């Protein structure tokens, strides 16, 4: 069994978030493969799929083809949300409170957040896996306009599905999975896998993607704004003007004094008395 399929049966891994994009909408396929692996491990906890998007008929058809007939689908997709008498938050909270120690699949958190608000949706998810000790598989679609911030920190394991460059053939789909797993000790492991999955049996084959081949997200840096002077006249100088400035001799710049001597140069006036014997002879006394 691959490392990806082992995630739901890992000790302490109670909350898994599957983040899918519009070009890699394979979260339901991956979760069905997980449910098959759970049943093969002999884990017989009840499984409930809380459906907030997609028709119930299509999902039940997929479960029936994989012999997962004991899984119950709670249809909230067909509920009239405009009915003021129905409080969806109270309705789903009451349902999960009656099924403690179960496995819940939320399909999907983005739609639930649109119906009851982001705050109540996150509160409902937190109540599931903390108070009721339930294992939760949560689907999140990042193409919605109302995004939930810091989605990768919400659960124990965060998976991001991306489109693969390989072409699908022979009833197989290909997609890339980026996994961030928080271990009970506090450490975090991260890896990337290329998934090949059969759309009929939902069986999975994976291979690790080296870090050198992983596409790193592009960071769009804002263009640096050029600082313009706020003065009404031009104060900057170009290269030619700087050369002219350096070549002009200034009157207060004297050549070097090799002897390092200081001299006082004095030119006497006509009225000066330079008689050193009687310096006061010019006084009227």
Question: 4-208: what fold?
Answer: Rossmann fold (3.40.50)
| Inter-residue contact 147 to 26 (CB < 8 Å) | no
219: left (phi over 0), alpha (psi -120 to 50) or beta: beta
Q: Which residue has the tokens 């009970």?
A: 184
Helix and strand totals (H; E) in the chain: 6, 9
CA-to-CA separations, 39 to 129, 160, 227, in angstroms, rounded: 20, 24, 65
Rounded to an integer, what distance in angstroms lies between the CA atom of residue 140 and that of residue 137? Answer: 10
In this structure, are strands 135-141 and 103-107 parallel, antiparallel, or unpaired? parallel
Q: Which residue has the tokens 């949300």?
A: 81
**What local confidence, expressed as pLDDT, does residue 261 receive?**
66
Domains in the chain: boundaries: 4-208
**What local confidence, expressed as pLDDT, does residue 262 receive?**
66
Q: For residue 109, give the 3-state DSSP assignment.
A: helix
183: left (phi over 0), alpha (psi -120 to 50) or beta: beta
**What local confidence, expressed as pLDDT, does residue 106 receive?**
93
pLDDT tens per residue, the chain (285 residues)?
578 888 888 877 889 999 998 888 899 999 999 999 999 988 889 999 999 988 888 899 999 999 998 999 999 888 665 666 678 899 999 999 888 889 999 998 988 988 888 889 988 988 887 776 778 999 998 766 667 778 888 888 999 999 888 776 778 899 999 999 988 788 888 999 999 999 899 999 999 888 755 545 444 455 666 666 566 666 778 888 888 888 877 665 555 555 566 667 777 776 666 665 655 666 665
Closest Cα partner for 70 from 105, 98, 45?
45
Rounded to an integer, what distance in angstroms lies between the CA atom of residue 265 and that of residue 70? Answer: 113
Length of the chain: 285
* DSSP state at residue 226: P
Closest Cα partner for 72 from 91, 45, 41, 109?
45
202: left (phi over 0), alpha (psi -120 to 50) or beta: left
**What local confidence, expressed as pLDDT, does residue 37 receive?**
92
* Phi and psi, residue 96, nearest 5°: -70, -25
Cα within 13 Å of Cα(150), Cβ side: 4
| Inter-residue contact 211 to 227 (CB < 8 Å) | no
Q: What is the model's pTM?
A: 0.69
């Amino acid at each position: 069994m691959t490392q990806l399929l082992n995630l739901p049966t890992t000790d302490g891994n109670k909350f898994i978030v599957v983040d899918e994009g519009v070009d890699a909408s394979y979260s339901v396929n991956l979760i069905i493969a997980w449910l098959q692996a759970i049943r093969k491990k002999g884990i017989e906890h009840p499984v409930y799929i809380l459906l907030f998007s997609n028709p119930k008929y299509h999902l039940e058809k997929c479960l029936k083809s994989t012999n997962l007939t004991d899984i119950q689908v709670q249809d909230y997709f067909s509920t009239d949300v405009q009915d003021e008498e129905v409080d969806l938050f109270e309705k789903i909270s009451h349902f999960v409170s009656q099924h403690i120690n179960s496995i819940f699949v939320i399909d999907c958190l983005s739609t639930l957040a649109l119906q009851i608000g982001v705050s109540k949706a996150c509160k409902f998810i937190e109540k599931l896996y903390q108070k009721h000790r339930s294992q939760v598989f949560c689907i999140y679609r990042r193409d919605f306009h109302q995004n939930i911030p810091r989605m990768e920190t919400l659960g124990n394991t965060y998976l991001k599905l991306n489109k693969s460059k390989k072409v699908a053939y022979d009833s197989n789909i290909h997609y890339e999975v980026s996994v961030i797993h928080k271990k009970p000790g506090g450490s975090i492991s991260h890896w990337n896998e290329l998934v090949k999955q059969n759309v009929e049996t939902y069986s999975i084959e994976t291979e690790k993607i080296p870090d050198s081949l992983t596409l790193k997200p592009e960071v769009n840096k804002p263009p640096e704004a050029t600082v313009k002077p706020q003065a009404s006249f031009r104060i900057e100088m170009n290269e030619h003007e700087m050369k002219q400035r350096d070549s002009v001799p200034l009157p207060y710049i004297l050549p070097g004094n090799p002897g390092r001597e200081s001299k006082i140069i004095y030119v006497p006036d006509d009225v000066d008395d330079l008689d050193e014997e009687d310096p006061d002879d010019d006084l009227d006394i």
